[in-house]
């Protein structure tokens, strides 16, 4: 692997590292990737930043073996198609994190101290000192949504401002959060108490539109939102409606597409930047250096640590990876989306034990919004470790004759825990046990409401009554008591997603021990 193409404005350190090792490197930031691919069909490795690596690009490079994204996110690369074509995809996680973390404070200070408008006014010869009365960061409450690499760096960089730190991350342990001075709270408490909310989560089905009326309406008057993550996290229409009433400040650096043209949030953003978070000389250098070093290690030593689209062993039925994701999702929902996780213990029975490490990525993806199930086992372990979560893959007792099944136990703060077992039965992915509720046969499909309550007459009637009032059809009901006959579980399969009002009304009606919904394709 000696022919490398770098179709982007990347620090020359990557080219220098590779050429010193005898690689032939073409770096051209002025020509389109599509055209460069036609000109250089012998390319074996590609290093990109925001350039889109599509199926067409991959097909035009028949010798391509590796694509490296000089940065953390890689949604500009068709990783699945690359996998099908035998092309590995790497990223350089953490290389850009500090640049984004520092930008949070640049934006916050610019908004608090009226930097953009003050600059324009003064250049125009005006002296509007009274008009630009500002605010200080010191002593403010900073809410950090997402405590990955960037979120943790934001917490550390805030120390000089003596800020009170609140955090929300559905996977990080309380101990790990405490190391960076963050108090873990619910998302609602974070938005209600923070003077500044900084967003650091990826955009996916769970996070898209998460900042909406319900959260914006409970913010303090004059509070600030800083978005250096992804545009789709915020419901723009909701923010536009509530911003003037609550006198909110909004600083933004991210958009649906990185390209010229009108920006949909231009009418309401107090500070607007063209996606500059990772656009520092230092971040560019770090990402370029990492990309060059990783390519050399990959080609000469076979190091695949940062490959994000690894396949799985041919002998492993990939349906069991989907089962691991499903079981972990059920366990996470049972424990509570806002609960911190201290420990993960897994048991894989029968032939599954051989492939134990390959179940960690889908489990990690179910627990953490910012982890992709296509990443490798080492990255899953590192992701969990960075959040203070201990992982144990237990030895199994095959005399129990559980067949090819798996058990996932999550341990939260205090004595909170949940244990979920699942298997594949008659071709269906099913949860067979939740804690002491055995033989559940909960399939991984459709929409479900799960309610655990103190056993007593009339509860099921109340739950189904609420569904009927809201026009929700029930396709199936399963109800069991635990061996002690103290607690019962009701699982209702419904014809559509249960709205939050339905869940709240059921909770108010039956006072459950646990209540949660599941929606799966």
Q: Domain count of the chain?
A: 4
How far, in Å, CA of 14 to CA of 506, rounded? 58
Nearest to 239 by CA among 253, 251, 257, 256: 251
Query: What CATH number corresponds to the domain at position 24?
Result: 3.40.50.720
Q: What is the mean pLDDT of residues 292-299?
A: 96
189 within domain boundaries:
yes
Both 413 and 371 in one domain: the answer is: yes
Q: What pLDDT is stored for residue 360 in this prediction?
A: 93
Buried b (16+ CB within 10 A) or exposed e, 216-249: beebbeebbbbbbbbbbbbbbebbeebbeebebb
How far, in Å, CA of 345 to CA of 147, rounded? 22
How far, in Å, CA of 150 to CA of 102, rounded? 9
306 within domain boundaries:
no
Residue 112 has pLDDT above 80, yes or no: yes
Q: What percent of the chain has pLDDT over 70?
A: 99
DSSP state of 26: E
Nearest to 98 by CA among 140, 141, 152: 152
Both 70 and 201 in one domain: the answer is: no
Both 483 and 388 in one domain: the answer is: no
Per DSSP bridges, beta strands 405-412 and 341-348 are: antiparallel
Q: What pLDDT is stored for residue 487 in this prediction?
A: 92
Residues 6+ apart with CB under 8 A from 45: 1, 3, 4, 5, 64, 65, 66, 67, 68, 295, 299
Both 13 and 83 in one domain: the answer is: yes
340 within domain boundaries:
yes
pLDDT tens, 209-235?
999 999 999 999 999 999 999 999 999
Both 171 and 256 in one domain: the answer is: yes
Residue 119 pLDDT grade (very low, low, confident, very high; cuts 50, 70, 90):
very high
Other beta carbons within 10 angstroms of residue 127's beta carbon come to 8
Both 89 and 190 in one domain: the answer is: no
3-class state of residue 247 by DSSP: coil
Tell me phi and psi for residue 173, to 5 degrees: -80, 155
Higher per-residue pLDDT: 104 or 71? 104
- Say if CB 479 and CB 456 are below 8 A apart: no
Q: What is the mean pLDDT of residues 111-126?
A: 97
Tell me phi and psi for residue 425, to 5 degrees: -125, 125
Token pair for 67 = 């694509």
DSSP state of 463: H
Regarding pTM above 0.85, the answer is: no
Q: What is the mean pLDDT of residues 144-171?
A: 94
Higher per-residue pLDDT: 443 or 111? 111
Q: What is the mean pLDDT of residues 419-443?
A: 92
- Say if CB 363 and CB 392 are below 8 A apart: no
**Residue 448: exposure state from Cβ atoms within 10 A (0-12, 13-18, ≥19):** buried
pLDDT tens, 354-390?
899 999 999 999 998 778 777 778 888 988 998 899 9
308 within domain boundaries:
no
Residue 517 has pLDDT above 80, yes or no: yes
277 within domain boundaries:
no
Q: What is the mean pLDDT of residues 303-326?
A: 85
Tell me phi and psi for residue 54, to 5 degrees: -95, 175
Which domain-ending residue is among 222, 251, 272? 272
Residue 312 has pLDDT above 80, yes or no: no
Tell me phi and psi for residue 12, to 5 degrees: -70, -5
Cα separation values, 34 from 2, 7, 37, 259, 413, Å: 20, 10, 5, 17, 51
Q: What is the mean pLDDT of residues 123-131?
A: 96
Residues 6+ apart with CB under 8 A from 160: none
Per DSSP bridges, beta strands 474-481 and 487-494 are: antiparallel
How far, in Å, CA of 123 to CA of 167, rounded? 40
Counting every residue written for the chain, the total comes to 521
Both 104 and 206 in one domain: the answer is: yes
Both 420 and 506 in one domain: the answer is: no
Residue 110 pLDDT grade (very low, low, confident, very high; cuts 50, 70, 90):
very high
Query: What CATH number corresponds to the domain at position 491?
Result: 3.30.70.260
pLDDT tens, 238-259?
999 999 999 999 999 999 988 8
Both 90 and 104 in one domain: the answer is: no
Strands (E), 228-364: 249-252, 271-272, 341-348
Residues 6+ apart with CB under 8 A from 35: none
Q: What is the mean pLDDT of residues 12-19?
A: 97
Residue 521 pLDDT grade (very low, low, confident, very high; cuts 50, 70, 90):
low
356 within domain boundaries:
yes
Both 223 and 356 in one domain: the answer is: no
Both 243 and 103 in one domain: the answer is: yes
Both 41 and 133 in one domain: the answer is: no
Domain with 357, as residue range(s), is 313-444
pLDDT tens, 200-209?
998 877 789 9
Tell me phi and psi for residue 388, to 5 degrees: 75, 25
153 within domain boundaries:
yes
479 within domain boundaries:
yes
Q: What pLDDT is stored for residue 416 in this prediction?
A: 87
Instruction: Calculate the average pLDDT of the chain.
Output: 92
Residues 6+ apart with CB under 8 A from 134: 112, 113, 114
How far, in Å, CA of 227 to CA of 343, rounded? 31
Q: What pLDDT is stored for residue 372 in this prediction?
A: 77
Residue 74 pLDDT grade (very low, low, confident, very high; cuts 50, 70, 90):
confident
How far, in Å, CA of 429 to CA of 54, rounded? 32
Q: What is the mean pLDDT of residues 6-16?
A: 96
Which domain-ending residue is among 444, 475, 508? 444
DSSP state of 478: E
Which domain-ending residue is among 252, 272, 292? 272
| Chain centre distance of CA 292 | 27
* Helices within 180-255 (DSSP H only): 187-193, 213-216, 236-246
Query: What CATH number corresponds to the domain at position 366?
Result: 3.30.1330.90
């Amino acid at each position: 692997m000696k022919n490398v193409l770098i179709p982007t404005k990347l620090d020359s350190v990557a080219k220098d590292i590779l050429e010193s090792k005898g690689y032939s490197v073409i770096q051209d930031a002025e020509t389109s990737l599509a055209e460069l691919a036609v000109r250089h069909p012998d390319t074996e490795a590609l290093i990109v930043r925001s350039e889109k690596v599509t199926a067409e690009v991959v097909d035009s490079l028949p010798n391509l073996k590796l694509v490296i994204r000089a940065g953390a996110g890689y949604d500009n690369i068709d990783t699945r198609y690359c996998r099908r074509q035998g092309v590995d995809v790497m990223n350089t996680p953490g290389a850009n994190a500090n640049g984004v973390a520092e930008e949070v404070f640049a934006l916050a200070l610019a908004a608090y101290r009226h930097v953009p408008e003050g600059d324009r006014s003064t250049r125009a010869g005006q002296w509007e000192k009274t008009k630009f009365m500002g605010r200080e960061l010191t002593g403010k409450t900073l809410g950090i949504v997402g405590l990955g690499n960037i979120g943790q760096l934001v917490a550390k960089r805030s120390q000089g401002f003596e800020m009170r730190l609140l955090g929300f991350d559905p996977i990080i342990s309380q101990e790990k959060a405490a190391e960076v001075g963050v108090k873990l709270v619910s998302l609602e408490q974070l938005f209600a108490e923070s003077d500044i909310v900084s967003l650091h989560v990826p955009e996916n089905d769970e996070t898209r539109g998460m900042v909406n009326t319900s959260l914006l309406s409970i913010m303090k008057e004059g509070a600030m939102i800083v978005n250096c993550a992804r545009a789709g996290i915020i419901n723009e229409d909701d923010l536009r409606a509530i911003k003037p009433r609550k006198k909110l400040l909004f600083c933004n650096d991210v958009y649906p597409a990185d390209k010229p043209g009108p920006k949909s949030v231009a009418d309401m953003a107090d500070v607007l930047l063209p996606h500059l978070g990772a656009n520092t000389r230092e971040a560019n250098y770090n990402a370029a250096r990492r990309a060059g070093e990783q390519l050399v290690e990959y080609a000469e030593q076979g190091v695949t640590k940062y490959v994000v689209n690894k396949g799985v062993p041919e002998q492993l039925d990939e349906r069991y990876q989907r089962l691991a994701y499903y079981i972990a999702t059920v366990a996470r929902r049972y424990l509570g989306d806002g609960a911190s996780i201290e420990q993960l213990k897994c048991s894989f029975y029968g032939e599954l034990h051989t492939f134990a490490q390959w179940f960690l990525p889908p489990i990690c993806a179910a627990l953490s919004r910012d982890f992709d199930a296509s990443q490798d086992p080492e990255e899953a372990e590192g992701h969990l470790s960075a959040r203070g979560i201990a992982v144990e893959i237990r030895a199994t007792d095959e005399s129990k004759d559980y067949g090819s099944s798996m058990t996932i136990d999550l341990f939260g703060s205090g004595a909170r825990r949940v244990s979920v077992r699942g298997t594949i039965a008659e071709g269906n992915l099913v949860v067979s046990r939740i804690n002491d509720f055995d033989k559940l046969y909960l399939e991984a499909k459709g929409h479900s409401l799960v309610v655990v309550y103190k056993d007593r007459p009339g509860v099921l009637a109340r739950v189904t009554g609420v569904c009927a009032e809201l026009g929700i059809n029930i396709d199936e009901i399963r109800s069991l008591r635990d061996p002690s006959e103290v607690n019962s579980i009701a699982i209702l399969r419904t014809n559509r997603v249960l709205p939050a009002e339905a869940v709240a009304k059921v909770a108010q009606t039956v006072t459950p021990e646990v209540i949660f919904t599941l929606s799966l394709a």
